[in-house]
Chain A
């Protein structure tokens, strides 16, 4: 475990020493502040549109950071030849991969924390109340979802040739599932066989990221969901992450390094 934590600490250091997070965070803050300065019929209490815009930016930024950070981990190690002195140590490939996953996931969690704190301050400045439980649930589920995305991207980094193509494909898949995943079964109902069967297979096979998207509940001040439901969703995400990680480990162990 110490090896896994050691590798993950390097990933976290890399994240806060690169510009990606700061650029996206500042951009989010600026856009939200500009949006907040708009005069809506002299009403200072309007907040939900701002919450929605802020959360949308948070989700986009978190996906960008998670996917781009993860997509370049193994390819960059290989290209920069830092992989060889690393694996010359008593460190297995599996430990390296798990360390990268944990590092990317923890790094994403830290960025999420910063974004959600900003969101909480922004929303609280007008609503004058802080539904901490709701925000905690939303943030946790968001973070757990990013774990699945990171595991998927890590597998992609071993399968696809270039980090850019991996990042693009993973981003398209993640966004596509978020937008359409919930509706595939409805579309399938209106299709003839065999397309219906194919679409249903995809529907059941994909990780349903929309299960972790509590934005509408947060924006419109719905009460928090039951903790058991959160727990089940977390287990669902961990299962998918495990599948992707196991596949990544199998691929990585068979891959020649040079």
Chain B
């Protein structure tokens, strides 16, 4: 039929949401992603009529290390001074104090004892992130942000890993998701080999895709490279660690700090050499 030849015909898709909403589902996906950030702030969030300079990059994504921050301005006072008595009075009826859920949220902020409360309240952002991923499976940051909060704050490592694998299925070869998966194996499963494999794959994929762009995503590159460097250093592969650190330093905004780490690793290399000269390792015993 003529409509089947039409590009973007929704009837071809088996997904109900895609059939119903078409490409507009991405707008909804973004809306719910932002809603998750609003929940992260316990409802204290700028509308389209307010100054959003301090909320350009969602704080929950920023804290997760998933994206580079573009935030400027005053996040505590985006509302500004009340413009009239109605504005002043109305602030009693909606959240007007800046909080983060992982710092106690509304309860933690108002607790007189200073107790930050149960910071597992960050679970409340999960439904909206899940919905956002359903609506737009090609939005990588949804997977990485969700996985971060699932494993770091909620202790749900298996769920985080499964979610990332779902994201990888939808976005094959995604270096952001590979990096995040690598973090799970490194920080939670303590499986350095698998973490290394994943990060190296992420780095290769990044180079394949990003280097062709005029403005490559250096933020993610630095994350991959820095984690590889620290992994190799932890595993005692100092030469490999140094190689990654040199890469890291070349693109870092704070090369001096990276240089400090390089020097520390070199120190470790020379210490290891002198130790092996003083105390040569005895030969392995002959099995009886």
Q: Min CB distance, B205 to chain A, in Å?
A: 27
Chain A CB within 10 Å — which of B49, B89, B126 has the most? B49
Q: Across the two chains, which residue of chain A brings its CB closest to B48? A: A183
The secondary structure that dominates the B interface is helix
Q: Which of B39, B47, B50 contacts A48, CB < 8 Å?
A: B39
A41 near B50 (CB under 8 angstroms)?
Answer: no
Residues of A within 8 A of B47 (CB): 183
Min Cβ gap B57→A in Å is 21
Task: Tell me the chain A residues, 26-85 only, with Cβ under 8 Å from chain B.
Answer: 38, 40-43, 45-49
Other 16 A-B pairs with CB < 8 A, given A49-B124, A217-B43, A220-B43 = A41-B130, A43-B126, A43-B154, A45-B123, A46-B123, A48-B124, A49-B39, A187-B49, A208-B86, A219-B43, A221-B105, A221-B106, A222-B43, A222-B106, A226-B92, A232-B89
Q: Are A217 and B95 in contact (CB under 8 A)?
A: yes
Interface check A192, CB cutoff 8 A: no
Size of A's binding interface in residues, CB under 8 A: 37
B142 at the interface (CB under 8 A from A): no
A203 to chain B, nearest CB (A): 8
Q: Is the CB of A186 within 8 A of B42?
A: no
What are the nearest 10 A-B pairs in CB distance?
A216-B43, A220-B42, A49-B127, A183-B49, A48-B124, A41-B159, A220-B43, A222-B106, A186-B49, A229-B92
- B124 to A212, Cβ gap below 8 A? no
1/0 per residue, CB under 8 A from A, across B152-169: the answer is 001010010001000000
Q: Which residue of B lies closest to A222 (CB)?
A: B106
Partner of B126, one of A41, A187, A217, A221: A41
Contacting residues, chain A, for B150 (C-beta < 8 A): 41
Q: How far is the CB of B237 from chain A (nearest CB, A)?
A: 35
B93 touches A211 (CB 8 A): yes
B83 within 8 A of A: yes
Q: What residues of chain A have their CB less than 8 Å away from a CB belonging to chain B? A: 38, 40-43, 45-49, 141, 182-183, 185-187, 189, 203-204, 208, 210-214, 216-217, 219-223, 225-226, 229, 232-233
Question: Can you show 29 pairs from A to B with CB atoms below 8 A apart?
Answer: A38-B127, A40-B126, A40-B130, A41-B130, A41-B150, A41-B159, A41-B163, A42-B156, A43-B126, A43-B154, A43-B156, A47-B124, A182-B90, A183-B47, A185-B83, A185-B86, A186-B50, A186-B83, A189-B83, A203-B86, A208-B86, A208-B90, A210-B90, A211-B86, A211-B89, A211-B90, A211-B93, A219-B43, A225-B93
Bound-state Cα–Cα, A213 to B150, Å: 32
- Report A244 CB to chain B, min CB distance, Å: 19
Residue from B105, B123, B126 whose CB has the most chain A CB atoms within 10 Å: B123
- Of chain A, the residue at the smallest CB distance from B45 is A216
Instruction: Give the residue among A41, A221, A225, A229 with the most B Cβ atoms within 10 A.
Output: A41
Residues of B23-41 at the interface with A, using a CB-CB cut-off of 8 Å, are: 39
Q: Using C-beta atoms within 8 Å of the partner chain, give the interface range for chain B.
A: 20 to 34
The reply to whether B94 and A216 form a contact with Cβ atoms under 8 Å apart is: yes
Residue B175 is within 8 A (CB to CB) of chain A in the complex: no
B7 at the binding interface (Cβ < 8 Å): no
CB distance from B108 to the nearest CB of A (A): 10
Closest chain A residue, CB of each to CB of B83: A185
**Are B156 and A46 within 8 A (Cβ)?**
no
Cα A40 to Cα B154 with chains together (Å) = 12
State how many angstroms separate the Cβ of A92 from the closest Cβ of chain B.
36
How far is the CB of A8 from the nearest CB of chain B, in Å? 29
Q: Verify B43–A46 contact, CB threshold 8 A.
A: no
Interface members, chain B 99-139 (any A CB < 8 Å):
105-107, 110, 120, 123-124, 126-128, 130
**Bound CA span A223–B112, Å:** 12
Give chain A residues whose Cβ lies under 8 Å from the Cβ of B43. 216-217, 219-220, 222
Known: A40-B130, A49-B128. A217 touches B93 (CB 8 A): yes
Residue of B nearest to A183 (CB): B49
CA distance A249 to B39 in the complex (A): 45
Chain B residues in 8 Å Cβ range of A186: 49-50, 83
- Chain B's nearest CB lies how many Å from the CB of A72? 31
Q: How far is the CA of A225 from the CA of B163 in the complex (A)?
A: 39
Q: For A141, list chain B residues within 8 Å (CB).
A: 93
**B217 smallest CB distance to A (angstroms):** 27
